[in-house]
Structure 1
Amino acid sequence: MVVANNAIRLREIQAAVIADQGAFRNINSVSLATIDRVLKRNHVRMKQLYRVPFQRNSDIVKEARFQYVQRIMELEAEGAHHKFIFVDEAGFNLCKVRRRGRNIIGQRATVTVPGQRGANITMCAAISNDGVLCHIPTIGPYNTERLITFLDALKDLLIPPEERGLLRPGMTLYVIIWDNVAFHHSRLVNEWFAAQPRIMIQFLPAYLPFLNPIEEFFSAWRWKVYDHRPYEQMPLLEAMNAGCLTIGAEDCQGWIRHARRYFPRCIAGKTFNATLMRTCGIIVKNEWTKCER
């Protein structure tokens, strides 16, 4: 009962036990204390409940997972060399600090933060097996115009000036993989990709953060920004850039390998169960998962 319904209460278990004369024959009464003791004996404890979108394991989403993985495998099997680049945006604010600390028993653990919240700073970043390719922070949220500026900078880093606008055999093709945020589908963004013969776009299906290794990049990056203590030692923008510089190609390769471990499970159409993924600085209720049959 508990496995089927994590939100079930002791009184509901009590009523179900008394009502089920098949599995619990001749049990006409049972105390809540007994039920609690039996649950603890079987390693069942109270936990915080996290909301899980019911659509995550729908047939449509499972099919989208399958199609995404199938598309990636097809690109890898083609004659032309494809390089996969993961792009995403993440916000940062000086008021965000570590949520847990240490102090003497009986004394509150505190941390110094600015008196005023200040503006959010958003950074757009791109990673691949070569490491962090590009990162551009900006005050406020990202929008279509700022995204185009980022894509132009990324293109300049990927393609030499003499090769721009050309598509010849043997040239590397670049695949930008990102999520389905609204401005990723804007007309200007689509026109930008249409004008790039060597850069294509691939959207991640919904509810698939565990297939996006840049989520782990931002998780590690946020802790590195905290370690620079930007509100005391350096401006926030400098701390954000310094945090990126400490993340190497080996880190990115590990995150990409970890994401690809889920490919066979997506191909098999398995169900993913949500657990809590802490993404440095803030708690992100991503579907970072283990899977069951």
Structure 2
Amino acid sequence: MNTRAWIVFLDESGVSLLPQIRRTYAPRGRTPLLRHRLNWKRASMAGALGYHSTDPERGARLCFHLKPGSYDTAALIEVLEQVKVFYRGENVVLVWDGLPAHWSRTMRAWVAEQDWLTLERLPAYAPELNPVELLWSSLKKRELANLAGDHLADVADATEQGIHRINTNPQLPWSFLAHTGLAIHPPHPPNLRKDQ
């Protein structure tokens, strides 16, 4: 495996026109009401959060994709093609979970033709190791909280605002990684100085 690569965590999540109900503030005696149409229209979002394996000065990078419906292998290959463009063909080690579409025969055949991409699998039942899960949590607690949109475009707009908020805060993506307990840049052993 190339050690000068982007370590990229990818995950998908669903959103719908049904609001993500969260606690909120209101003046005493005026309980807030959330009115919405009972609408089951859904969209799916994919986030690829990357950290360079040898150069933390390059910062964290977030690539985001939103589509109506859900992801299958063909749609995920489209997402990975966008990831390739986003990372300008640099080497990427992609870390994701065991979703069948991630490891299908078609996906594995497509990946085998990609010289820039290596796949690694997260352990089963370990979403806490994926920093993108914290990205979803951040979006759903802020921009998507109590959002009663009439159209999927309303959800898309709110989501894009959240992605912009996260992209403009250079510490936030690193805090997502720190929360998982994983480290891309392990510290030097205590008995060695950098100049040795």
Alignment pair present for 1:144 and 2:63: no
Residue aligning to 1:28: none
Paired AA for residue 183 in structure 1: A
Paired AA for residue 154 in structure 1: V
Residue aligning to 2:123: 205
- How do 1:245-284 residues align onto structure 2 when only pairs under 5 Å count? 245-248=164-167, 249-260=170-181
Alignment pair present for 1:86 and 2:5: no
Pairwise CA distance, 1:179: 0.6
Paired AA for residue 247 in structure 1: I
- How do 1:1-293 residues align onto structure 2 when only pairs under 5 Å count? 80-102=3-25, 109-129=31-51, 130-160=59-89, 172-226=90-144, 229=147, 231=149, 235-248=154-167, 249-260=170-181
Query: Matches of 1:126 and 1:154 in 2, distance apart?
Result: 8
Q: Deviations over 1:162-197 (max 9, x none)?
A: xxxxxxxxxx53110011111111122112211111
Query: Matches of 2:107 and 2:118 in 1, distance apart?
Result: 11
Distance 1:235 1:102, change over 3 A: closer
Query: Matches of 1:122 and 1:113 in 2, distance apart?
Result: 23
Q: Deviations over 1:94-148 (max 9, x none)?
A: 222333345677x684432321223111101101234443211111111111111
Query: Matches of 1:127 and 1:113 in 2, distance apart?
Result: 34
CA contact (8 A) 2:15 2:42 kept: yes
Distance 1:258 1:236, change over 3 A: closer
| Equivalenced residues, count | 174
Pairwise CA distance, 1:223: 2.5
Pairwise CA distance, 1:206: 0.8
CA contact (8 A) 1:212 1:259 kept: yes
- Could you say what secondary structure the match of 2:166 adopts? coil
Pairwise CA distance, 1:83: 1.7
Query: Matches of 2:98 and 2:31 in 1, distance apart?
Result: 39
Any gaps of 5 or more consecutive residues in structure 1? 1-74, 161-171, 264-293
CA contact (8 A) 2:144 2:159 kept: no
Query: Matches of 2:146 and 2:37 in 1, distance apart?
Result: 19
Any gaps of 5 or more consecutive residues in structure 2? 52-58, 185-196
Structure number with greater CO (CA < 8 Å, separation at least 6) is 2
Pairwise CA distance, 1:85: 0.3
Paired AA for residue 147 in structure 1: L
Query: Matches of 2:158 and 2:93 in 1, distance apart?
Result: 29
- Larger helix proportion, structure 1 or 2? 1
Query: Matches of 2:5 and 2:143 in 1, distance apart?
Result: 32
Query: Matches of 2:30 and 2:20 in 1, distance apart?
Result: 16
What TM-score do you get using the length of structure 2 for normalisation? Answer: 0.76
Paired AA for residue 150 in structure 1: V
Pairwise CA distance, 1:87: 0.3
The structure with the largest alpha-carbon Rg is 1
Identical positions, percent: 24
